[in-house]
Amino acid sequence: MALDGIIFDLDGTLWDSRKAVADSWTKVVQDRHDARREVTAEELTGLMGLQLPEIGDRLFPELDPDERKELMDECCVYENDYVAEKGGVLYPGVEEVLKQLSQTYPLYIVSNCQDGYIEAFFEAHGLGSYFKDYENPGRTGLPKSGNIKLVMERNNLENAVYVGDTKGDEDAARGAGVPFIWAAYGFGKPENPDYRIGALAELPGLVEKL
């Protein structure tokens, strides 16, 4: 059966937004919680791919759950506007690869982010036209595997692949029943990916063989 869709993770797969996210969160945290606290890009590296409540648990264990959720919610609202304006660092060849792939395959994004973050990526870099659909737990409340399944059901996909960079992405692909392509240039190291790319430019050649 021919490949009928490519679903991408976002952070660590299409771009690196750590600096913009860290800068935006630092401003909110210093204004609302601790004037001396700085959230760094390095600190976020090990948290990429996790859902936001777990990120909050790890970053702010000193807060009670309600305070932590309120702070994370404020961080995310400010972050969306900040990221939309400042953008992130696109991985080499992103637009060229998306343009090439979209001529043959419908493209999608499923990311463990808040509602509005994927739209901020589109606004910052003008890449929204390449994607047919996207989803996130901030909008659905579902885990990544559930959101992959939702995008597949919504778009009548029967033979899709998921491209991501972390073990969480690998687990989500397994949970959704789709092959996993590891973006080895990203932030994580899965256990047993189905396929591997060392750069986005390798993806078109790989999917042609699937």
Q: Are 187 and 43 spatial neighbours (Cβ–Cβ below 8 Å)? A: no
Residue 5 tokens read as: 């869709």
Nearest in space to 130 (alpha carbons), one of 111, 159, 106, 155? 106
- Asked whether residue 28 falls in the same domain as residue 92, the answer is no
What pTM does this model have?
0.93
Domain span including residue 136: 5-16+88-209
210 residues of the chain, pLDDT tens digit each: 689 999 999 999 999 999 999 999 999 999 988 999 999 999 998 888 788 899 999 999 999 999 999 999 999 999 999 999 999 999 999 999 999 999 999 999 999 999 999 999 999 999 999 999 999 999 999 999 999 999 999 999 999 999 999 999 999 999 999 999 999 999 999 999 999 999 999 999 999 998
- Asked whether residue 56 falls in the same domain as residue 93, the answer is no
- Asked whether residue 145 falls in the same domain as residue 112, the answer is yes
Q: Which distant-in-sequence residues (6+ apart) come within 8 Å of 112 by Cβ?
A: 49, 50, 51, 52, 136, 137, 144, 168
- Asked whether residue 96 falls in the same domain as residue 183, the answer is yes
Helix (H, G, I), strand (E, B) or coil at 16: strand
Q: Phi/psi at 73 (nearest 5 deg)?
A: -60, -45
Per DSSP, helices labelled H in the chain are 18-32, 41-45, 52-59, 65-86, 94-102, 117-125, 137-140, 144-154, 167-176, 203-209
